Amino acid sequence: MTRQIVLDTETTGLSAEAGDRIIEIGCVELLGRKLTGNNKHFYLNPERDSHEDALKVHGISSEFLRDKPKFEAVADELLDYLQGAEVIIHNAQFDVGFLNKELELAGRPPLGQFVDSVTDTLAMAKEMFPGKRNSLNALCDRLDVDNSTRTLHGALLDAELLADVYINLTRGQEALLMDVEASDDAGVIVARVDLSGFDLPVLRANEREAAAHEDILSQLDESSAGKTVWRALAPETVPDMA
């Protein structure tokens, strides 16, 4: 069963190379695309103040972080938790860049040596919704994920929201799986039925449907000066509508 970790960070600013540091890490575990509750959450002492703009985003003060552990103190626990998992991050280049810098400062190898892979949900969303806003808030709105409790950015809350967003983004991967529920005296029994092994029938268009299709093509011919793409296809590549 695939183990996935949805991860988010909060930082003191935008540039790890310029000395900004991670102040919060939130991780949510998925097994078989289901939340397990086996999450990780760290607040970290970055040994520097957050930039004013970053503070407006996450609202985590230097005073609050002063007695929190430094990254090096939690590095082994974090890496053990992430070991061998697919890590899912929104705008992965940003978070992985910060994690790799923290690992470097702590004398550890980069993240890629511990995890199976990194999946970037921002890249996924841009491919699925080109030209649209694909921030976490925008995706929550588009995919009906409740983000009403998100007034400020927080790593654990954002990881939990991203887990729901990811499941909705990849819903098509479960298109051939069906939940079957049956109830007996002991309660509800839920079984998973895999339909991928079934031979699904191919339903051909009848004469009425084929005529309606031809009518639509004729209308497209008129509006496109005879440049309908369907007409331009070689006959052997056009699906049989009969």
Hey, which residues are catalytic here?
Answer: 153
Q: Are 40 and 155 in contact (CB under 8 A)?
A: no
Instruction: Taking the CA atoms of 134, 137, 142 and 144 in sequence, report the sign of the dihedral they define.
Output: positive
DSSP label at 69? P
Among candidate residues 3, 7, 2, the one with its CA nearest the CA of residue 102: 7
Contact 24, 60 (CB under 8 A): yes
Cα 186 from Cα 79, distance rounded (Å): 42
Is 155:26 a contact under the CB 8 Å cutoff? yes
Place of tokens 């999946």: 119
Alpha helix ranges (H) inside 114-206: 121-128, 136-142, 155-169
Give which of 23, 20, 21, 24 is closest to 7, Cα–Cα.
24
Nearest C-alpha neighbor of 124 from the set 154, 86, 98, 79: 86
